[in-house]
Amino acid sequence: MSGGTAPTTDGAPGRGAPGEGIPTASARTASVARTVTDVLQPRNVLLAGMLGIGLAAAGDWTGLLWGFLGALCAGLVPAGYIEWERGRGTWGDRHVVDRTKRAPIFFVILGSIGAGSVVMVLGNAPTGILLAMLALWVMTIGLLAVNTVWKISVDSAVASAAVSLLAVVHSPWWIAAYTVTTAVCWSRVALGYHTVAQTVAGAGLGAATTVAYVFG
């Protein structure tokens, strides 16, 4: 890495501010990585994933409504909270590169998913979408715990969870969509937000969400 290694807020060497610390990446590569990470950010992935999970769980169009509620609570509300805090000047962008400032986001996610799950229980939502919500809630607990000591990748975890859950409720062929998860992991590393290990760990935690269907 030219110019030496830049420390990150969590002490991991070789990663500095977004876009820095990329040894040989051209401006074009960085631009592609930025597009990938923006298009496949958690709120977008969860919107597509939860709609698909809800449709499979219900077996008809009503599942789309439950899926949207799940996406709203797991992805859209937290994204809105981040934008609100950005407007207040709390964070520079949605990535919140300083892991020590991420705890409030995780608590918002936990509260929002919990509230959505209560609504689903009261509304007799399909079991499949409830299991997905439980899986995401537990995953968030894991992300919060790890984040206290290490900057695990949330984007990678969400991208992996969406694919693995779709593979369980729809068809194993959905595993092919892990190319999307891989693209997210690559973009996070290329932009200097995470190390390879942090994205792999996030993807592994996301894949573990399928355990909810084993015991559910």
Please report whether residue 3 resides in a domain.
no
Q: Half-sphere exposure (CA, 13 Å, Cβ side) for 102? A: 24
At residue 60, the pLDDT reads 94
* 71, 47 Cβ separation under 8 angstroms: yes
At residue 27, the pLDDT reads 86
At residue 7, the pLDDT reads 39
Chunked mean pLDDT (size 10), the chain, 216 residues: 37 44 67 96 97 95 97 97 90 83 95 98 96 97 97 97 96 95 97 96 97 83
Domain span at residue 211 reads 31-215
Please report whether residue 23 resides in a domain.
no
At residue 92, the pLDDT reads 78
Distance between CA atoms of residues 200 and 202, nearest Å: 5
Six-digit token string for 214: 């084993």
Please report whether residue 21 resides in a domain.
no
At residue 28, the pLDDT reads 87
At residue 77, the pLDDT reads 97
Please report whether residue 1 resides in a domain.
no
Please report whether residue 148 resides in a domain.
yes
Domain count, the chain: 1
CA angle 72, 75, 77 (to 5 degrees): 60
Q: What is the pTM for the complete model shown?
A: 0.86
Please report whether residue 175 resides in a domain.
yes
State the helix-helix crossing angle for 178-190 and 27-39, rounded to 10 degrees. 130
At residue 78, the pLDDT reads 96
Residue that the structure tokens 């709390």 belong to? 90
At residue 214, the pLDDT reads 79
